[in-house]
Amino acid sequence: MKKILLLVAACLMTGGLCRAQMPAGTWFGALDIQGVSLTLVFNFSEEGCTLDVPDQGAKGLKATATLTALGAVHVDVPSIGASFEGYRLGSSIVGTFTQNGVTLPLTLKPGAPERKRPQTPQPPFPYGTEDVSFTNGDAVLRGTLTLPSGYDRQTPVLLMVTGSGLQDRDETLFEHKPFSVIADYLARAGIATLRYDDRGFGESTGDVMRCTTEDLKEDAAAGIALLRNRFDRVGIIGHSEGGTIALMLAAEQKVDFLVSLAGMVVSGRETLLTQNRDGLLQAGLDEKTVETYCKALAETFDAVSNGLPLPKPGNYNLPAALQQNLQQVQAQLGLPYLRYFVQLDISKRLGEIDCPVLALNGTKDTQVDCTLNLGTLKSGLPASDRNRVEALEGLNHLFQHCTTGLTAEYPQIEETFSPQALALIAGWLKAVTQNSR
């Protein structure tokens, strides 16, 4: 109660600007989530309130806004189990954002955030687009087919598959739209693409709680089937987990060529262990504690894979915060997605891939280890002069030129996708598709 009284007193000292009054128009602020900035945009009007999360491509989430007895602005966003409550202090609304039991400070300022994203395509476009949809079981996937001028059945086309987590067709992250940038570049080079919203996100429907990477692969396979009806040469381009899915479909001989962008080639188990080890060391934890936690994580993954009881977090000499984190991981392993992901290992099927492969990783990728994954891919693929496996110097997981490669940099970088990488992709595609005529 003392804290609230102090806030009220501070408002009074600013000249009474905290009078009980509902804000109007657009207000924005940024959450600091373990060093990563996430922008939230609240839109207040007479009709109600909505929330946008532009960094994740979410718009118009329905919310309710009220004033508390003490004059605080309170906003509930039921669809994501979140709320915000804050007091007017001068030209700001200062408060806290709460979701799933986690509370973070959040200060809102009037207006909309502005980020420079110079590569985002702008009309007019020298190519056409069509809205299309395809189905996989109960899932309806909706997307955008981008068609170069003068296209025909011989025009090469690629299905675009996003990385892990719910993504829209542009793979929007921090207002970067890499798939839109890639589709635009390829269309200008005479190559068609189909990009789509992930199941259960954007305009697409489908179960996301019980799905696995296998289900997402079958979603992509349905998109490939749609393209086969209109084009003779059909390939796939996937980013991160989408790169894994591209390799899975290639091993099943479903595609004519593939581009893997930072695709996970080693097992999900090894990827998660590497990510956790690197992340904890970067956070400043000592090596002994990190190795103990990774040992606990590895034994948890092995127990899941072998159908054994999960180890108890208390069995390890870990700080309370890491024991709690291990408990959360074990709870998430109750979901089909993570259980499948831990056991996923496409490296065992690389010898079955007989189509041309372009695989790229950035040397500063901190999410999918460049050396480990490209090395595994290079040694596992059948020998072919049509294949190209290459590390791109100075690029991060999103193929941006960067300083550290850490996720915290992503929002601050203006570049969406390396122009050099775009040129490499288009040049390789032209070469392998011309040879297949």
Please state the domain extents for the chain.
Answer: 2-110, 127-266+345-434, 268-341
Nearest residue to 424 via CA among 357, 358, 354, 355: 358
pLDDT of residue 113: 84
- 127-266+345-434: CATH topology is Rossmann fold (3.40.50)
Percentage, residues of the chain above pLDDT 90: 82
For 178-230, what is each residue's pLDDT tens digit? 999 999 999 999 999 999 999 999 999 999 999 999 999 999 999 999 999 99
CB atoms within 10 A of CB 415: 18
Nearest residue to 410 via CA among 379, 366, 380, 372: 366
pTM over 0.85: no
Burial of 265 (0-12, 13-18, 19+ CB in 10 A): buried
On whether the CB atoms of residues 53 and 61 are closer than 8 A, the answer is yes
**Which three-class secondary structure string do you get for 92-140?**
EEEEEEEECCEEEEEEEEECCCCCCCCCCCCCCCCEEEEEEEEEECCEE
For 229-286, what is each residue's pLDDT tens digit? 999 999 999 999 999 999 999 999 999 999 999 999 999 999 999 999 998 998 889 9
For 338-353, what is each residue's pLDDT tens digit? 999 999 999 999 999 9
Where does the pLDDT of residue 435 fall: very low under 50, low under 70, confident under 90, or very high at 90 and above?
A: low
Write 92-96 long-range contacts (CB < 8 A, 24+): 93/23, 93/27, 94/7
* Phi and psi at residue 116, to the nearest 5°: -80, 120
DSSP lists the bridge partners of residue 129 as: 146
- CATH class given for the domain over 2-110: mainly beta
DSSP lists the bridge partners of residue 97 as: 84, 104
For 58-91, what is each residue's pLDDT tens digit? 889 999 999 998 889 999 999 999 999 999 988 8
On whether the CB atoms of residues 252 and 346 are closer than 8 A, the answer is no
Q: What is the mean pLDDT of residues 28-35?
A: 87
For 230-242, what is each residue's pLDDT tens digit? 999 999 999 999 9
Nearest residue to 322 via CA among 279, 377, 263: 279
pLDDT over 70 at 19, yes or no: no
Contacts with 182 (C-beta within 8 Å, 6 or more apart), sequence order: 160, 193, 237, 417, 422, 425
pLDDT over 70 at 17, yes or no: no
